[in-house]
Amino acid sequence: MQSVLVRMAGSLGLLLLMGVTDMQRPLFAQQAGTADSEAVAEVKQRIFDLAEAFRGQGDPDFSKQRQLEALIEELLRIAPQPPVRQRLDLLYGTWQQIWGPYEYGRGADRGVDPKSDPDRIYQVVFPGGYYYNVAPRDRNETGATREIVLLRGVYELLADYPDMLQVRFTEYPSTEVAREIETIWRYAALAEAGQLDNRSTVVPGLIVRLFFGGGGLREVYTDDTLRVTFGDGDLDDRSEESLYIMRRIE
């Protein structure tokens, strides 16, 4: 499932045996400008509610994305953001995708991959320059998941693009599971530490690095609960950007 996996990107540091909850993360970082906290909370809730209503649905004509973008513009007017360099600490942790594209690897129709589980798509961002996209795949006839896939990427800041992270993919492992745990994002730390049980390779790392490419993440809003980012393979052409609405899990 090259969904969130091949188009989301961003990365950061070595966690080894610690869970993401052990990472030091600052409390809510003050946004640029003076924002009305009640107004911000109200617009954020509308974004979450609309993203939840759209969860798991395709968006071939970008109509759903446009509705969300209107709310995001409203949010940014009352809570403008500093450059992403100043918000990096807020990116660290586990993010659940509430809404975004669901058809990676199936062409540009912005449909829905039938193997995806829209309720369980995560990105885990570590301090240090790497991240993992984590999702279940390959359900059997009983609905039980038999495989968890993890797409690893790295990122770097771009001096000429103050709200962008440039990303590229490096590895694409998976693990077979007999009984799936609910907190599947914790497999990311195990994968990085080389402690992933039943590890297999979805696509060899050399192929991932040569052909999966990467692109940019335009990080337009980040706080202690909400992350809004646009992903695309082209840093300059934003006409085909895909929007991701994410909620912090840890």
pLDDT tens per residue across span 86-118: 999 999 999 999 998 876 554 557 767 777 788
Give the domain CATH number at 119.
Answer: 2.40.128.280
Say if residue 229's pLDDT is above 70: yes
Question: Comparing 122 with 2, which gets the higher pLDDT?
Answer: 122
Residues 215, 240: Cα–Cα separation, whole Å:
12
Residue 77 lies in a domain: yes
Structure tokens at 93: 């942790």
The model's confidence at residue 217, banded by pLDDT at 50, 70 and 90, is: very high
Instruction: Determine, yes or no, domain membership for 28.
Output: no
Give the residues across from 96 on adjacent strands. 122, 247
Domain count for the chain: 1
Structural domain includes residue 31: no
Residue 139 has a pLDDT of 59
The average confidence (pLDDT) of the chain is 82
Domain that holds residue 44: 3-19+36-248
CB 134 within 8 A of CB 187: yes
Residue 237 has pLDDT above 70, yes or no: yes
Is 203 domain-assigned? Answer: yes
- Of 3 and 213, the one with more pLDDT: 213
Tokens of 192: 């990085």
